[in-house]
Every structure is written in structure tokens, then in C-alpha cells.
Amino acid sequence: MPKSEFAPAKINLTLEILGRRADGYHELRSLVAFAHDAGDVVTLAPGSSASVETSGSFAGDISGSNLVDKAISAFAAKVPGMKPPRLILDKNLPVASGIGGGSADAAATLRLLSKSYPGIADRDLHTIARALGADVPVCVRARPVIMTGVGETLEEIALPQEVYAVLVNPLIAVPSNKTAHVFAALGAAPLTAPPEAEPAPRLSNVRDVIAYAKARGNDLQAPAQKLFPEIETVLAELHRTEGALFAQLSGAGPTCFALFATKQEAVAGASALRQRQPNWWIRPTRLG
Ligand SMILES: C[C@](O)(CO)[C@H](O)COP(=O)(O)OP(=O)(O)OC[C@H]1O[C@@H](n2ccc(N)nc2=O)[C@H](O)[C@@H]1O
Ligand SMILES: Nc1ncnc2c1ncn2[C@@H]1O[C@H](COP(=O)(O)OP(=O)(O)OP(=O)(O)O)[C@@H](O)[C@H]1O
């Protein structure tokens, strides 16, 4: 019986960049949520040949070595004698799009392998995840958190049950090192002192989430928009969608999200948008 792990899209509801560290990475604070019904799927398939096979709409867009392969190698390095598995990656999320697709796939692979090899401590899994990418630890957790550090410090937070979003990606070509470009374009000041800790917000309903997201914003939105002007069109389209209460960029983009109070409004908003922009990737989803 094949075992599967869902690799949900990651959405940065907020993204504050607090300063640049000496190693070039940035300290940040981000409210991160995950999509209930938009994601890739990683399946451990029967068979003796070690391989990673890809299927799905965006399988052909992965460039360089697949983060799933890197996750397997990093995990295997901690498990002497581990038999390399045969994995199938169903790639439904657009690549290099700011919703952490590759990170989510690496994280799902680590969760899958750690179920087969339960000897690996959570602490070791976290270290492996961090070495694979700044977004991989949060994707291993795959629950709403306030993420700080460069992405390694995770504080779980309760999100209201009913938060609906529409995710929109214009499917423009972006370079594979897009995230580094966007951080560089921000030109953040060097950190002079460690950022101050602050208590996690209390988010009781969708209005609280929107107020917090509006107040904190996404510091990468302006530089990303300068590099990829299509983002402005995506945000304008989301703002004019009926029922959309708030719209912003996720991560380094170009995927943007809008928030809705009900599932019906998110589904209707997504279909109205699809009528206007048939070539975009548009997904209504519940966030959690
Ligand atoms: C923008 C976010 O998506 C927000 O969740 C993440 O911070 C990016 O996470 P990621 O894509 O997993 O990032 P990595 O693959 O580790 O790094 C890609 C590049 O982004 C920049 N980077 C990333 C994370 C971070 N905290 N500071 C950075 O400056 C670095 O230039 C790095 O070379
Ligand atoms: N399994 C994978 N899925 C997607 N991209 C992958 C994968 N493996 C390797 N990559 C490469 O990783 C890079 C980042 O892709 P990803 O989809 O994770 O971007 P992202 O969502 O913008 O990430 P972030 O917001 O964390 O920078 C791309 O250049 C892509 O070719």
C-alpha cells in the first residue's frame, strides 16, 4: 500500500524583514499558514529501484536537482544502511512562485521517510530541514506559525477555523534564483542587534487576521513588484474581485493571495478571476 504525504502550499500572510545578517541571510518575522487544498503529493511507491519520478502539471518546470532528491540524500546521511526509496512527486504547484513548492516537497519527503525510519529525533529532522532551505523547517511543521530567525524558529499559533483564500500566480517566467534577487533588491540594512521578541498576535476571526496582515505587510512586495511588474496586475485583479477583503504577495512572489470570509465567496471569486484571466493559475482554498 503506497504511503503519501501532502505537501501544502505555504502562504506568508505577513513577511517583515528585520535586517541583514553578516552571512547575507535576513532575519524575518512571518505569519505563515498552509493551504488545505492546494499542494503537491509525495508518494512512497513499491519497487526496488531507487528513483524520484515526477508527474503533474508543473513537473517539467523543475530546474536543477530536485529538492526531493536532496532531502533523501540528507536524510540517508543520518541513517546508515538506509535503502534509497522510489518516490513519486505529483507537482501541482507552480515552481519558484513564493508558495514554497520545493520546500514543501522536501518537507513532505522528510515526514514520509521519518515515518519509515522513526529513529531520527525531531531535533535532527529540524537540522536536516534547515540545511535544505530557510522555508523547509516551517514546511515540515505544516501548521500555522509565527516564523522568526531566518526561518528556523517556529511558534505555533491558532488561526480561526474559517479563513479562505484565493491563490493567484500569473505563470510568468522567473529566474531560479528569484528569491535572492528580491532580497537583494530590498537592500535591507545590516542587523546591529538581535531583533526583539514580541508576543504572538491573538487572531480570533478573519477580521483579526486581516488587521494583522495589513499592519505588518510583506516587505518583499515592493522590490518583487519592481522586478516583476505583473505582480501589480495580479494585486489589482484581486482587489477588484467581489468578496476579496485583502490582497498581498506571498514570500518573494510572484504568487499573491486574497482573503475571503466564506468558502462560497472564495470559490465564486476564483471563478470570476478565471473568466477574466484564463491563463493564470488560480486556486481557492481554506487556510490552516
Ligand atoms: C522568502 C521566504 O519564502 C519567506 O518564507 C523564505 O525566507 C525563502 O526561503 P527559501 O526559498 O527556502 O530560501 P533559501 O533557499 O534558503 O535561500 C534562497 C535565498 O534567499 C535569501 N534568503 C532566504 C531566507 C532568508 N531568511 N534570508 C535570505 O536572505 C538568500 O539570498 C538565499 O540565497
Ligand atoms: N520539487 C521541487 N519543486 C519546485 N521547485 C524545485 C523542486 N526541486 C528543486 N526546485 C527548484 O527550486 C527553486 C525554488 O522553487 P520553489 O517552487 O520552492 O520556489 P518558491 O516557492 O519561490 O520558494 P521560496 O518562496 O521558498 O523561495 C526553483 O528554481 C526550482 O527549479
pLDDT in tens, 12-25: 999 999 999 999 99
Across 112-118, average pLDDT: 93
Strands 51-55 and 86-90, how do they pair?
A: parallel
State which H helix or E strand residue 88 sits in. strand 86-90
Predicted pLDDT of residue 83: 87
CA 217 to chain centroid, in Å, comes to 16
Mutate to test the pocket of ligand 1, among 16, 17, 66, 135 (most ligand atoms within 8 A of CB): 135
**Quick one: pLDDT band at residue 56, thresholds 50, 70, 90?**
very high
**Quick one: pLDDT band at residue 2, thresholds 50, 70, 90?**
low
Across 128-146, average pLDDT: 98
Q: Which pTM value belongs to this model?
A: 0.97
Binding residue per annotation — 250?
Answer: no
How many helices and strands (H and E) does the chain possess?
Answer: 9, 11
Vertex 4: Cα angle to 2 and 10 (nearest 5): 170
Predicted pLDDT of residue 138: 98
Predicted-assembly ipTM surpassing the 0.90 threshold: yes
* CB neighbour list of residue 221: distance below 8 Å, 6 or more residues apart: 231, 248, 249, 253
Q: What is the spatial distance between Cα 93 and Cα 198, in angstroms, rounded to a whole number?
A: 33
Across 64-91, average pLDDT: 94
Across 51-76, average pLDDT: 95
Residue 251 Cβ contacting ligand 1 at under 6 Å = yes
CA of 213 to the centre of ligand 1 (A): 20
37: annotated active-site residue: no
* CB neighbour list of residue 183: distance below 8 Å, 6 or more residues apart: 17, 26, 220, 223, 252
Q: What is the spatial distance between Cα 283 and Cα 271, in angstroms, rounded to a whole number?
A: 9
- pLDDT higher than threshold 60 for residue 1: no
Q: Is the dihedral of CA 221, 226, 231, 236 positive or negative?
A: positive
CA of 101 to the centre of ligand 2 (A): 6
Across 52-59, average pLDDT: 96
- pLDDT higher than threshold 60 for residue 153: yes
Q: By the 8 A CB rule, do 244 and 6 touch?
A: no
Residue 18 Cβ contacting ligand 1 at under 6 Å = no
* Nearest ligand to residue 153 Cα: 1
Residue the block writes with cell 477555523: 161
CA 288 to chain centroid, in Å, comes to 13
Q: Which domains does the chain have, with CATH numbers?
A: 3-156 (3.30.230.10), 164-286 (3.30.70.890)
The single-letter code of the amino acid at 76 is: A
| 247-262 CB burial, b ≥16 within 10 A, e <16 | bbbbbbbbbbbbbbbe
Catalytic residue, candidates 40, 90, 105, 135? 135
CA distances from 157 to 51, 90, 137 (A): 37, 29, 16
263: annotated active-site residue: no
pLDDT in tens, 212-223: 999 999 999 999
CA of 219 to the centre of ligand 1 (A): 13
- For 181: left if phi > 0, alpha if psi spans -120 to 50, otherwise beta; the answer is alpha
> Mean pLDDT across the chain, nearest whole number?
96
Cβ neighbours of 143 (radius 10 Å): 15
Q: What percent of the chain stands above pLDDT 70?
A: 99
